[in-house]
Structure 1
Amino acid sequence: MTRAAAVFAVIFGLLTLLAGGRALFGGADMGAVFDFVLIFNFLAGFAYVAAGVGLWRGDRWAAPLSIAILAATLIVFAAFGWQVMSGQPYEARTMGAMMLRSVVWLAISLIALRAQRR
């Protein structure tokens, strides 16, 4: 299970970097996005890859990094929610993407913690 989570984290990270890079540097009109969410997600892609590599290798820092990614994602998600609740226009796909990221990193964090206990 740990190896599968590691591979998934790396692939998820690479896809995040690709999509985020296109959105930030490709000049694509993304609609009503919040720059802080877009920048966070792009930069988090590097951490996703690092966490996946650490999980694959069985490094002890992989679980804390996974938890830090989850915590940071939840903080950015809350800030996004705050902006939405204040009436700012937003893209519904951002809401879905942040929910997906939160669930993915909760699962990876739980797998990493279980692996670390062994």
Structure 2
Amino acid sequence: MLRRSRNESAVDEQAGNGSPASIFLAGLLLSATGSDHAFCHSAINDSGLVKPHTDLESRLNQPFYLRLTHKGLTLIAVLFGVITIFAGSGVLTGSDPGYVVFFPLLVYNTVMGFIYIGVGVVAWRNVHYGRNGAAAVFVLNLLVLVAIWLLYNSGGAVAIDSLRAMTLRTIIWLLLFTGLFWLSRRNPGT
């Protein structure tokens, strides 16, 4: 007879009546999260049985529109990061954008492209951390936008196109933060 781990035994107890559907769902939970950490956030309910509470369980219980919104926002963040990296590295390697390039802004935006991808990946895994990352990106972009706006108004070497692009970046990250904030309030378990 095979020896069962404590987590697998807990899933059997949680499955209750042992119906095929209960056993299938319990097995799915174990295989999806790995039996070693499937119940890392477990609690014992009133009857003494292990009641699992995992991030996977919270995600599976989300309505479809919340899952779709979550994945859409994270994909937008990652794609925006990829586009930013390609655009910035193209100009850094000699491509002419058609206007005067403010070099510190170009380097900032290219580096931020990698951070956009990182925040998108973090948001995919955890809405709360992703929300915080999106807030940080928004604030950084807003500070840079204010700085280049002041530089532009004082006659500095910043093109209006750079100002418009930075405004677009700031608005996109405000919208991403707003969406992730909304998601985090709708489902506090993720």
- Tell me, yes or no, whether TM beats 0.5: yes
- The superposition leaves residues 73-92 of structure 1 with CA deviations (integer Å, 9 ceiling, x where unpaired) of 01111110111011124322
- Counterpart in 2 of 1:27? 94
Whether 1:103 aligns to 2:179 is: no
Whether 1:50 aligns to 2:122 is: no
TM-score with structure 2 setting the length: 0.58
- Provide the identity percentage: 29
Q: For 1:92 and 1:101, how far apart are their aligned partners in 2?
A: 14
Q: How many residues align?
A: 117
2:148 to 74, 80, 83: 80
* Larger helix proportion of the pair: 1
CA contact (8 A) 2:130 2:180 kept: yes
Q: What SS does structure 1 have at the residue aligned with 2:128?
A: coil
CA contact (8 A) 2:102 2:157 kept: no
- Counterpart in 2 of 1:40? 108
Q: Tell me whether 29-38 or 99-108 shows the greater mean CA deviation.
A: 29-38
Unpaired segments ≥5 residues, structure 2 = 1-68
- Counterpart in 1 of 2:33? none
TM-score with structure 1 setting the length: 0.90
